[in-house]
């Protein structure tokens, strides 16, 4: 038995070692292709710390209000862009979710009236989800012109794909009883979906939608990098034109806003789950 | 069978069963009205008129026709190399972040680091790393270390060290106490407790988290090039800006194929890890 144990252990060690060698080889190749030269990295490190240092504003205890005012000198404009970002996220979530809600019943296996359209809609969800928003944004800027409309359409299209997949999966696992009930009472397919499936999956859908809104706030904040509206435009300009203190001010505004939104949505979600559990 | 009159009678007897009544009804309509007016207001703010929408849509239709058939362009090898560079950025960035996050994850776990203020500070620091978007880091690193994949790798390292350290610390906190107590009872040091009491329990989940982040990085590294941080995103945005739609669609197809392949491979690996 001892011999069996020893040989088994040696076998596992060999397999583990082989695995680690493969991982190390893949990593080494990647590091070379990605130009991850240790010397270059070492040379770059001081420049990174230097960059961070430059973004830190001069704050003197005696002149704190003046210094803060200078740091956040363009606050009015930034708050406007921040508001634009939030409204973009809201509108994109709204449009994407409504479209996904209409599509998910047609795409859900076992519920969809036509197998072919269901397959097509699922591929549509996949395409909208997998192509990055920024690529859609580049296309839409060409089609709809610069500004928030292109950004909203890009984020909405991505949301449509992501939400549609989740919604259809939720609809697929809904209990069939209520659907049969509506059907046997003479309801048509649309009524069966509205009164048989929707009430079952609505809490899940609401939770997904809040989560999507949180993600969309982040995405709307960067979509301005290519000129599709929102605060990304200001961040892009500040970094490009080396307005160091603006970079830190904008990032602080962004991080604070994003974490506030996350907490708000988290609370709403917990309340909804609480309501659901109390039923 | 119940008739319309029966339904009316029941509605009169138990109005609540047919939907919200009274004040709740008022609230519901107020909410609907608020959502509708907010949505309408947003449309007006962004000047999203039907005319603009349909004009843009017909333009998109024209572009879609120009995208067919997809063409590799004059330098197909350049595109293949850019795609490989994208994958390499994701691999190298994720691997380094996955290693850097190990000590940070241990230090942020409640059952390892008992000093609460230190843990709090570390967690807020990780929040900042995660809270700033990868593309913002990429933009900053392009400024700090120059154009090229190094900036992209650094942006992946920074954001995902934050994400993975948080996920690792949660995996460690969910580990069973009894194995930790066992190592401690037989005289293990702190390091031995971490190595033999905690790590074996959390390792499969930690590796699975790292693989999941790797999949997400393959997607996100395709766009890092748009801000100049290496990879295929640069080629794509270049072709779109030059209005070479057939080459742009070829690149998009390349990206979709690569992402699908990586996802399938990584998902299979993750399933095996979780079984082991």
Has residue A150 got a pLDDT over 90?
yes
Q: In a mutagenesis test of the A interface, which of B135, B155, B231, B240 is the best target, namely the one with the most A β-carbons within 10 Å?
A: B135
Q: Give contacts of A147 with chain B, Cβ < 8 Å.
A: 46-47
Direct distance between the N- and C-terminal alpha carbons of chain B, in angstroms, rounded to an integer: 59
% chain A with pLDDT above 90:
32
Clarify whether residues A31 and A131 are in a common domain.
Answer: no
Question: Rounded distance, CA A63 to CA A70, Å?
Answer: 11
Give the residue from A34, A131, A275 with the most B CB atoms within 10 Å of its CB, the best one to mutate: A34
Q: Does residue B58 lie in a domain region?
A: no
Partners of residue B89 in chain A, C-beta under 8 Å: 30, 34
Judged by average pLDDT, the poorest of A39-53, A94-108, A220-234, B232-246 is A39-53
pLDDT at A149: 92
pLDDT 10s digits, A94-139: 999 999 999 999 998 888 888 899 999 999 999 998 888 899 999 9
Q: Do A87 and A154 have their domain in common?
A: yes
Residue B15 confidence (pLDDT) above 90: no
Q: Do A132 and A250 fall within a single domain? A: yes
Establish if A128 belongs to a structural domain: yes
* Alpha helix positions (H), chain B: 4-13, 22-45, 50-66, 76-108, 116-131, 134-145, 149-173, 177-185, 190-192, 199-224, 232-241, 245-275
- Closest-approach residue (CA) in chain A for B40: A91
CA A227 from centre of chain: 19
In chain B, % of residues over pLDDT 90: 26
* Residues of chain A with C-beta less than 8 angstroms from the C-beta of B43: 91
Could you tell me the pLDDT band of residue B1, with boundaries at 50, 70 and 90?
A: low
CATH number, domain of A222, equals 1.10.3720.10
Burial class (CB in 10 A: 0-12, 13-18, 19+), A243: middle
Tokens standing for A57?
């504003």
Neighbours of A152 (CB within 10 A): 33
Tell me whether residue B156 is in a domain: yes
Average pLDDT, chain A: 88
Task: Please report which confidence band the pLDDT of residue B113 belongs to, taking 50, 70 and 90 as the band edges.
Answer: confident
Contact A239 B143 (CB under 8 A): yes
pLDDT tens per residue, range B155-166: 999 999 999 999
Q: How far is B93 from chain A (nearest CA, A)?
A: 9
Are residue A84 and residue A183 in the same domain, yes or no?
A: yes
Interchain pair A251, B256: CB under 8 A: no
The complex scores an ipTM of 0.82
Torsional class of B133: left (φ above 0), alpha (ψ -120 to 50), beta (otherwise):
beta
Q: Which of B62, B89, B65 is nearest to B224 (CA)?
A: B89
The rounded distance, in Å, linking the Cα atoms of A222 and A81 is: 12
CB contact under 8 A, A222 and B219: no
A171 min Cα distance to partner chain B (Å): 23
Per the structure, the complete domain to which residue A29 belongs is given by: 2-55
Asked whether residue A243 is assigned to any structural domain, the reply reads: yes
Are residues A131 and A199 both part of a single domain?
A: yes
Q: Is residue B276's pLDDT more than 70?
A: no
> What domain range is B238 assigned to?
77-275
Which of chain B's residues have a Cβ under 8 Å away from the Cβ of A222?
133, 135-136
Query: Distance (Å) from the C-alpha of residue B111 to the closest C-alpha of chain A?
Result: 25
pLDDT of B271? 83
Q: Is residue B210 part of a domain?
A: yes
Q: Does B240 touch chain A (CB under 8 A)?
A: yes
Residue B89 within any structural domain of the chain: yes
Spell out which residues of chain B touch residue A131, defining contact as CB-CB under 8 Å.
252, 255-256
User: What is the spatial distance between Cα B97 and Cα B53, in angstroms, rounded to a whole number?
Assistant: 43
pTM, to two decimals: 0.85
End-to-end Cα, chain A, rounded Å: 58
Question: Does B93 score more than 90 pLDDT?
Answer: yes
Residue B169 sits in the same domain as residue B245 = yes
- pLDDT confidence band for B2 (50 / 70 / 90): low
B57 at interface of A, judged by CB pairs closer than 8 A? yes
Domain count, chain B: 2
Based on the structure, what is the number of domains in chain A? 2
Confidence at residue A274, expressed as pLDDT on a 0 to 100 scale: 66
pLDDT band at B212 (very low <50, low <70, confident <90, very high): confident
Predicted confidence at residue A279, as pLDDT, reads 53
Asked if residue B9 and residue B117 are part of one domain, the reply reads no
Q: Report pLDDT digits (tens) over B39-84.
A: 999 999 988 888 889 988 998 999 889 888 888 877 888 899 999 9
Q: What pLDDT, on the 0 to 100 scale, is given for residue B13? A: 83
DSSP 8-state symbol, B242 = T
The alpha carbon of residue A232 is apart from the nearest alpha carbon of chain B, in Å, by 9
Residue A220 has pLDDT above 90, yes or no: yes
C-alpha–C-alpha distance, residues A12 and A4, integer Å: 12
Distance from CA of B264 to the nearest CA of A (A): 14
Query: Taking CA atoms, what residue in A is nearest to B89?
Result: A34
- Between chains, do A149 and B144 touch, taking CB under 8 Å as contact? no
State how far Cα A79 lies from the chain centre: 22
Kindly report the backbone phi and psi dihedral angles of residue B46, in degrees, each rounded to the nearest multiple of 5, phi listed first. -85, 5
Same-domain pairing of A10 and A118: no
Q: Would the pLDDT of B22 be above 60? A: yes
Cα angle A45, A47, A53 (rounded to 5 degrees) comes to 110
What is the reported pLDDT for A163? 94
For residues B83 and B9, state if they share a domain: no
Is the predicted pLDDT of residue B36 greater than 90, yes or no? yes
Give alpha helix (H) positions in A108-197.
115-130, 133-144, 148-172, 176-184, 189-191
Flag whether A125 is in a domain: yes
């Amino acid at each position: 038995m001892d011999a069996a144990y020893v040989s088994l252990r040696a076998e596992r060690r060999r397999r583990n070692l082989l695995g680690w060698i493969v991982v190390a080889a893949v990593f080494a190749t990647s590091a070379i292709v990605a130009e991850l030269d240790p010397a270059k990295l070492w040379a770059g490190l001081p420049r990174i710390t230097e960059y961070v240092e430059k973004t830190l504003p001069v704050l003197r205890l005696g002149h704190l209000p003046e210094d803060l005012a200078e740091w956040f000198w363009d606050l009015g404009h930034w708050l406007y862009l921040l508001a634009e970002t939030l409204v973009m996220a809201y509108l994109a979530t709204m449009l994407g979710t409504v479209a996904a809600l209409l599509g998910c019943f047609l795409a859900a296996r076992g519920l969809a009236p036509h197998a072919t359209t269901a397959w097509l809609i699922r591929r549509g969800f996949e395409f909208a989800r997998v192509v990055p928003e920024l690529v859609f944004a580049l296309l839409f800027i060409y089609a709809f012109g610069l500004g928030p409309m292109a950004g909203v359409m890009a984020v909405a299209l991505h949301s449509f794909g992501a939400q549609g997949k989740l919604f259809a999966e939720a609809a697929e696992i809904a209990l069939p009883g209520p659907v049969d009930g509506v059907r046997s009472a003479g309801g048509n397919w649309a009524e069966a979906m509205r009164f048989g499936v929707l009430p079952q999956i609505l809490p899940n859908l609401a939770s997904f939608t809040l989560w999507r809104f949180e993600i969309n706030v982040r995405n709307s904040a960067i979509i301005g990098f290519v000129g599709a509206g929102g605060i990304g435009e200001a961040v892009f300009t500040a970094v490009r034109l080396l307005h160091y203190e603006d970079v830190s001010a904008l990032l602080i505004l962004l991080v604070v806003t994003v974490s506030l939104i996350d907490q708000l949505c988290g609370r709403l979600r917990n309340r909804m789950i609480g309501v659901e559990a109390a039923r | 069978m119940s008739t319309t009159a029966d339904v009316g009678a029941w509605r009169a007897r138990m109005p609540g069963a047919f939907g919200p009544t009274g004040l709740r009804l008022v609230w519901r309509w107020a909410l609907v009205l608020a959502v509708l007016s907010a949505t309408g207001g947003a449309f007006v703010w962004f000047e999203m008129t039907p005319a603009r929408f349909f004009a843009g849509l017909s333009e998109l239709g024209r572009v879609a026709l120009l995208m067919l058939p997809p063409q590799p362009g004059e330098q197909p090898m350049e595109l293949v190399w850019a795609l490989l560079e994208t994958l390499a950025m994701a691999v190298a960035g994720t691997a380094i972040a996955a290693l850097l996050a190990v000590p940070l994850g241990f230090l942020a776990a409640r059952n390892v680091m008992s000093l609460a203020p230190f843990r709090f500070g570390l967690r807020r620091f990780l929040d900042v790393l995660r809270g700033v978007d990868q593309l913002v880091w990429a933009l900053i690193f392009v400024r700090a270390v120059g154009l090229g994949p190094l900036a992209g790798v650094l942006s992946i390292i920074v954001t995902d060290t934050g994400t993975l350290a948080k996920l690792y610390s949660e995996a460690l906190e969910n580990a069973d106490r009894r194995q930790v107590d066992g190592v401690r009872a037989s005289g293990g040091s702190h390091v031995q407790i971490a190595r033999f009491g905690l790590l074996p329990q959390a390792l499969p989940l930690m590796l699975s988290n790292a693989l999941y982040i790797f999949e997400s990085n393959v997607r996100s590294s395709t766009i890092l090039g748009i801000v100049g941080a290496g990879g295929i995103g640069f080629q794509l945005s270049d072709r779109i800006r030059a209005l070479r739609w057939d080459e742009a669609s070829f690149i998009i197809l390349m990206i979709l194929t690569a992402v699908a392949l990586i996802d399938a491979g990584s998902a299979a690996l993750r399933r095996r890890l979780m079984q082991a």
